[in-house]
Structure 1
Amino acid sequence: MNTAQLISPDFPFDSNYVEVDGQQIHYVDEGEGDPVLFLHGNPTSSYLWRNIIPYAARQGRAIAMDLIGMGKSDKPDIAYRFVDHVPFVDGFIKALGLKNVTLVIHDWGSALGFHYAHRYPENVRGIAFMEGVIRPMTWAGFPPDFRAGFRMMRTPGLGWVMISGLNMFVEKILPSAIVRDLTPQEMAHYRAPFPSARSRKPVRVWPCEIPIDGTPTDVHDIVSAYSNWLGETQTPMLMFHATPGGTIGPSEVAWCRQTIQNLEVVDIGAGIHFLQEDDPHLIGKQLEEWLGRVFK
């Protein structure tokens, strides 16, 4: 059977909302027990985790939020820089009263999650991550297949045309960073939150926030700080990586193995950046096993 047939496009979860800083944040809430908080990145939503949530819900309370301006969360007229997202993630955790949290994080969700864990280590019992922002980047070390495109997206004017105008992050970059082909139903889910140029502002801003060669300075400093913390903490961590990978390729895998003290590593095989769309069941099973073994 084709792998794509095993990956459900359905999102069979009830929608929940909580107010944070005057805005409604959408989230999925399945299972009971200690919270397992899923944080997505660009240009996705809680939908990215749809096939993984049921596995985690057998070991705890699986919660997947939509970042502000993304998914079904409110879309206020804010700058949508990394530092603008931080208080909404912090506020979400506080509003739901989440304690003893395990973070499951990807892409910009990883930067938000690592930053939270660095600041509130007493509230984080473990971290599972994949294709994350583990340290500041350089253009020389940036994934070659995406280097030219991201340079253009960080160019004022051109970036607006590419992302806000043509919706290229959803239409081109997302599917090109998955080994299998997304179905029309899946693409419809990813398009739904961004029907207009104005609604795509968060998607447009995120590429400009990647700390590359020291810019932007504030994000570089934040990522540097939690990157150093990754080498100091004893927090249990689980890393998923793939071949060829995107933000976490062979050199990043080696760095994590050498740097993170309490780390387990899972190779999912073929995958680029959105690993949850290539082999969600392997990720889900390994996550469920790790949660049950390490924290019970």
Structure 2
Amino acid sequence: MPVVDVLDSTLHYEEVRSGADPDSGPAVVLLHGNPGSSHVWRHVLPGIGPGRLLAPDLIGMGRSGKPDIPYDFADHARYLDAWFDTLGLDRVVLVGHDWGGALAFDRAARHPGRVAGIAFLESIVRPVARADLSPQARRRSEMVLAPGAEETLLGEDVLVRMAFTGAGVLNPVSDEDLAAYLAPYRTRADRRPLLAWARQIPLDGEPAAVVARIEAFGAWLAASSQVPKLLMTFEGSPTLLVDKATADWCAEHVAALETVPCGEAAHHAPEDQPAAIAAAVLAWRARHGLL
């Protein structure tokens, strides 16, 4: 369970080194989303093949430090950049879920020479209009933006429980795993990053700073034909972020993209389909010489 100093805080990460020569190919970095931690990758990491495999906790999340910052998109990108530089990671394969996918796209767009490939699932790929949200997603958006959200969502561990025992998964996690997800978020202050992330969802042009970053990495995704990309899709839940329309949009607007269906899952798909996700990433890495 390594921890390194980054900027004014610390980042915790999981690391697995497997195979005869773990340093022979590009390292693989798995980036989690909200409201989770690197714990979400525990059943995926063992199956994605050889190499140096790393899964950091985003700043303010999991076992990483919790500095007094706004926890907006730019903050997360800044601390991640420092983590990559501290570990000397260069030309990596990025695997992202939820906001982790958006952070992967953002980093690739800003450091194109340091990314060998991107695999993503249930990630934010474009700004959306509130009118296009599913009824369930619209209700959740209204909940996190409501005037009393701080009291409701910071006063209790609602967001984590909703994600991993409610509609965010088809199969609720075990009590042991739920405890691991809840452990970093015991107090109101601990939960600030979770609500901050929930309020970063780009709807109807706001927040403008997030929309600008998405538009910037969208241009890179459309033009980067030299970088292989993998989209893993799912079915069977109204909480899915990447539906057929979004997958079709990705096929049209993301260069060098392969799409692989990975079965039935809800939004936190690494809990529902870890073996299918690992197998898809491993096969894609093999096809593109990323082992």
User: Greater shift after overlay, 168-177 or 114-123?
Assistant: 168-177
1:213 counterpart SS class: coil
> For residue 165 of structure 1, what is the aligned residue in structure 2?
155
> For residue 250 of structure 2, what is the aligned residue in structure 1?
256
User: Greater shift after overlay, 203-212 or 285-294?
Assistant: 285-294
Cα distance in 2 for partners of 1:246, 1:108 equals: 14
Change (3 A) 1:138 1:174: farther
Cα distance in 1 for partners of 2:145, 2:88 equals: 37
Cα distance in 2 for partners of 1:59, 1:294 equals: 14
Cα distance in 2 for partners of 1:128, 1:261 equals: 13
**CA shift for structure 1 position 149:** 2.0
> For residue 262 of structure 2, what is the aligned residue in structure 1?
268
Cα distance in 2 for partners of 1:181, 1:30 equals: 26
Q: CA RMSD in A?
A: 1.3
Please list every run of 5 or more consecutive structure 1 residues that lacks an aligned counterpart in the other structure: 1-14
**CA shift for structure 1 position 228:** 2.3
Identity %: 34
Cα distance in 1 for partners of 2:200, 2:102 equals: 11
**CA shift for structure 1 position 174:** 3.6
> For residue 239 of structure 1, what is the aligned residue in structure 2?
231
Q: How does 1:171-186 map to 2 (within 5 A)?
A: 171-175=161-165, 176-186=167-177
> For residue 9 of structure 2, what is the aligned residue in structure 1?
23
- Asked if residue 35 in structure 1 is aligned to residue 27 in structure 2, the reply is yes
Q: Is the 8 A contact 1:240 1:283 kept in 2?
A: yes
2:132 counterpart SS class: coil
TM-score (norm 2): 0.93
Q: Which aligned segments of 4 or more residues in structure 1 are displaced greater than 3 angstroms?
A: none
**CA shift for structure 1 position 208:** 1.0
Q: Is the 8 A contact 1:45 1:67 kept in 2?
A: yes
**CA shift for structure 1 position 268:** 1.3
Q: Is the 8 A contact 2:263 2:276 kept in 1?
A: no
Change (3 A) 1:71 1:47: same
- Asked if residue 82 in structure 1 is aligned to residue 51 in structure 2, the reply is no
Number of residue pairs matched by the alignment: 280
Letter in 1 for 2:44: I
**CA shift for structure 1 position 85:** 1.0
Letter in 1 for 2:54: I
> For residue 51 of structure 1, what is the aligned residue in structure 2?
43
Cα distance in 2 for partners of 1:28, 1:99 equals: 18
Q: Is the 8 A contact 1:230 1:259 kept in 2?
A: yes
Q: How does 1:3-18 map to 2 (within 5 A)?
A: 15-18=1-4
Cα distance in 1 for partners of 2:231, 2:152 equals: 32
TM-score (norm 1): 0.91
